[in-house]
Amino acid sequence: MKFWEFIGSLDRRIIFLIIGLAVFIPLLAPLKLPVITTPTTEDVYNAIDSLENGSKILVSFEYGPSTQPEIEPMAIALMRQLFRKECQVVGMALWPDGQFMSTTVFDRTAEQEFGLEWGTDYVNLGFRPGGEAVIKGIAREFRANYTQDVRGNSVNDLAIMEGVYSVKDFDFIFSLSAGYPGTVEWVLYAADPYKIPMSSGTTAIQVNEVIPYVKGGQIYGILAGMSGAAEYETLVKAPDDATKFMDAQSIAHLLIVVFIVVGNISYIVQRRKQN
C-alpha cells in the first residue's frame, strides 16, 4: 500500500526528468519505427500529385516559432513535392512571424535544394495584417492587397504573378496553419466560395477544428501534426525531421499513457483503502 501512496504523490520533477529522457534518448539513438500512412495524408499527397505540372499554387504560412517544429517539416516536404512538379509557388502569411517561417522554408528548398529563380518559379509576398479580411481582399483583387514582395519588388513586375488578379487565378491553395487566422478562414472566404481546391497542414491540436471540413469534402485531406508530417515525408520519399522526431513522440506518448495508468491504479488503491 505504501508503494502506491508513494507512486500517487510522486514529485513532478521526477516526471519531468523521465519525460525529458524519453524525448532526448530517441533523438540521439533513433529507433527507426516504421511510419504508416493514413488516408487523410494520402489525400493531400494525391491532390497535389494530380495537379498539372507548372500549376500556380498559393501557400499561406500561418505559424510561428512555437509551432515551427511541427509545421515546418510538412512545409519543406510540401515544397519538395511542388517543385518536383515544377509548380509555381506564391507564398504569403497571415501571421507576422509567418513571413520569417516562409523565408526559412523557401531558402532551404527553392534556393538551396532546387536552385529556382525568385519572381519566376517562386515568390514570397510576406505578411499583411487583417486576418480573414486579407483573404476576402485577395479573393476579389489580389494586387490591391499585395503591391510588392518581401524584397520590395512590385507585384506587377514579377513574371510569376502574370495573370494573377484574384485568388481564383490559383490552381490550388495550401494553408500551413497553427491557429487563427488559418485553415478555417481559407475555407470560409476563399476555397469554398470560389471552388478552389485546397489542402492543409495543421498542428495536432487544431485537427479537431479542421476535420469537419476535410470530411465534408471542402479540403483535400489534412497533414495532422508531427505524425502527419512524417507520413507525408514518407509519401514524398524524402524522410527528414518529422520522421526522426516520431521516435521521440512515440516514446513520449507511450510514457504519458503509462503515467495515466499508474496514476489511476494508485488512485483506485488509495480510494479502496479510504473506503
Partner 1 sequence: MFWKTQIPVFIVFVVGMLTLLQWFIPHAPLNQIQVHMTQWFDIIAVFAIVLGGLNLLKLQFAKITSRQHDWQYALVTIVGFFVMLIFGFTKMGVEDEAVRLGSHLQREGSNFHWMFFNVFTPLSSTMFALLAFFVASASYRAFRIRNAEATLLLVAGIILMLGRVPIGHILTAWAPPYLQLPAIQEWIYSVPNLAGARAIMIGIGLGMVATSLRFILGIEKSFLGGDE
Closest contact distance (angstroms) between CB of 51 and partner 1 is 26
Is residue 30 a contact point for partner 1 (CB under 8 A)?
Answer: no
Is residue 181 a contact point for partner 1 (CB under 8 A)?
Answer: no
Among 5, 212, 237, 272, the residue binding partner 1 under the rule CB under 8 A is 212
CA angle 64, 65, 67 (to 5 degrees): 75
Closest contact distance (angstroms) between CB of 84 and partner 1 is 26
Is residue 179 a contact point for partner 1 (CB under 8 A)?
Answer: no
- The nearer residue to partner 1, 55 or 138, going by C-beta atoms, is 138
DSSP string computed for 206-267: GHHHHHHHHHTTSSS-EEEHHHHHHHHHHHHT---HHHHHHHHHHHHHHHHHHHHHHHHHHH
Gap between the Cα atoms of 22 and 6, Å rounded:
22
Gap between the Cα atoms of 41 and 72, Å rounded:
16
Measured in whole angstroms, the distance separating CA 45 from the mean position of its chain's CA atoms is 14
Among 4, 19, 119, 192, the residue binding partner 1 under the rule CB under 8 A is 19
Is residue 208 a contact point for partner 1 (CB under 8 A)?
Answer: yes
Among 41, 55, 67, 109, the residue binding partner 1 under the rule CB under 8 A is 67
Is residue 272 a contact point for partner 1 (CB under 8 A)?
Answer: no
Is residue 211 a contact point for partner 1 (CB under 8 A)?
Answer: yes
Q: Which of residues 122-151 bind partner 1 (CB under 8 A)?
A: 126, 128-131, 133-134, 136-137, 140-141, 144-145, 150-151
Site string for partner 1, 69-108 (x = CB under 8 A): x---------------------------x-xx--x-----
Quick one: CA torsion of 195, 199, 205, 209, rounded to 10 degrees? 20
The dihedral region occupied by 230, where left means phi > 0, alpha psi between -120 and 50, and beta the remainder, is alpha
Q: 155 is written with which cell numbers? A: 507585384
Is residue 154 a contact point for partner 1 (CB under 8 A)?
Answer: no
The 10 Å CB-count burial string (b at 16+, else e) for 60-92 is: bbbbbeebbebbbbbbbbbbbbbbeeebbbbbb
- The nearer residue to partner 1, 54 or 193, going by C-beta atoms, is 193
Measured in whole angstroms, the distance separating CA 221 from the mean position of its chain's CA atoms is 12
Gap between the Cα atoms of 217 and 83, Å rounded:
26
Residues that bind partner 1 (CB under 8 A): 10, 12, 15-16, 18-20, 23, 33-36, 38-39, 64-69, 97, 99-100, 103, 126, 128-131, 133-134, 136-137, 140-141, 144-145, 150-152, 204, 207-209, 211-212, 215, 224-225, 227, 246-247, 249-257, 259-260, 262-264, 267-268
